[in-house]
Amino acid sequence: MSIESRFLPLLQNREEQHLYRRRPLATSPQQAAMQINGWEVINFSSNDYLGLANHPQIKQALITALQSDAISYGAGAAHLVTGHHLHHHLLEDELADWLGVERTLLFSTGYMANLAVQQALMQAGDTILADKLNHASLIDGAQLSQAEFKRYPHLDMKALERRLQNSLKNASQTLIVSDGVFSMDGDIAPLNELQQLARQYDAWLMIDDAHGIGCLGDQGRGCFEYFGCELDSNTILIGTLGKAFGCSGAFVAGSEILIETLIQFARPYVYTTAMPQLNALAIRESLKLIKTDQASRETLQRNIKQFKQSAIKIGLNLMPSDTAIQPILLHDSAKALQWSEQLKQQGFWVTAIRPPTVPTNQARLRITLSASHTEKQISALLNALQTLLNTSE
């Protein structure tokens, strides 16, 4: 059997079901106003929540660094060989100080971090209990571990507790795994309840705060700060650096023992090249901005409030979210694609999210707001959405 004969029918079937994915081509910096596929658009699909991806302070720091002899672009090797540069080391220390944890550990992507932790920590006979709507990387990390993998209904703490009781009865070490902010729905996991259940049933807790870190909490420390929780020695925080931080990469935060365990046993850490030195420097600059620029978080919250209030007023089917992720549920994949295309023609880039990224009959427009959006841009998007709503009725 050839590759073509196996996969061409699958590709054709995906096209027929309006589920085919294509990569848009950006030819401008990542910012609110962009050029994508030759269209001049206002971008409402980026995870650049604080508008840092094209920040002049970060760009200037990189220019200055390139003029020195103390840094290269490529790391050249894995962290455990010769790739662990001073900027990596300082960034890990600065993130740990900011979050109030013993240590952090850098990864090249959030996907790698989520694979690494579950694969390294969970052994045969252990149990992973995961929220039904967890990110794909969390699902893959659980499946690649030796532990038994079970899922509980989305945000259902009673169902989770029943599974914890069973694990305790079977003397199985359990890891509870959840997104902090769910990437396709925008709702927030109740970290205070999750942490309480973990402590009550002697479980470990792992939170992927990709869409909360930088945005939530008075100091931008994410979902744990938002709920007034602290990381204890059995709690693991994953944070990504390609969303609110505007750069790329990820980190794991937690105890000294956790980080040393990952350095020794996490294959996605040991057997890969370190992130570029310049990226670590850029993240350090971004962290400085996140620490000091409370105004950007306040602007983001105002933008979220403006969009939500107006969207509800005009009758859009918003999903329950108080974060920068504001999905409009359309159910039908063809309709989601149609709305996305019509918005593009009016100058707005809004991505249609379809299965298998979301469940069947849950297609939606995933609108993401940024501190860099203006009130005028948001109002214009809402007017365009109202027109679509009126013509589809």
Q: Is 135 annotated as ligand-binding?
A: yes
From the list 370, 349, 351, the residue with the least C-alpha distance to 35 is 349
The set of catalytic residues is: 183, 211, 243
Q: Is 351 annotated as a binding residue?
A: no
pLDDT of residue 184: 94
What are the residue ranges of CATH 3.40.640.10 in the chain? 58-292
Q: What are the pLDDT digits (tens) for 203-260?
A: 999 999 999 999 999 999 999 999 999 999 999 999 999 999 999 999 999 999 999 9
Residues 329-350 have pLDDT tens digits of 999 999 999 999 999 999 999 9
Those residues of the chain that have pLDDT short of 50 are none
The b-or-e profile of 309-337 (16+ CB within 10 A means b, else e) is: ebbeeeebebbebebbbbbbbbeebebbb
pLDDT of residue 371: 97
Confirm or deny that 261 is annotated as ligand binding: no
pLDDT at 248: 97
Picking from 283, 310, 45, the residue whose alpha carbon sits closest to that of residue 183 is 45
Ranges in the chain annotated CATH 3.90.1150.10: 27-50+294-392
User: Is residue 21 marked as binding?
Assistant: yes
**Fold of the domain spanning 27-50+294-392:** Aspartate Aminotransferase, domain 1 (3.90.1150)
Please report how the helices 110-121 and 136-144 are oriented relative to each other, as an axis angle in degrees rounded to 10: 30
302 annotated binding-site participant: no
Q: What is the pLDDT of residue 393?
A: 61
Nearest to 59 by CA among 279, 251, 244, 213: 279
331: region left, alpha or beta (phi > 0 left; psi from -120 to 50 alpha) = left
Is 18 within any annotated ligand binding site?
no
Q: What is the CATH topology of the domain spanning 58-292?
A: Aspartate Aminotransferase; domain 2 (3.40.640)
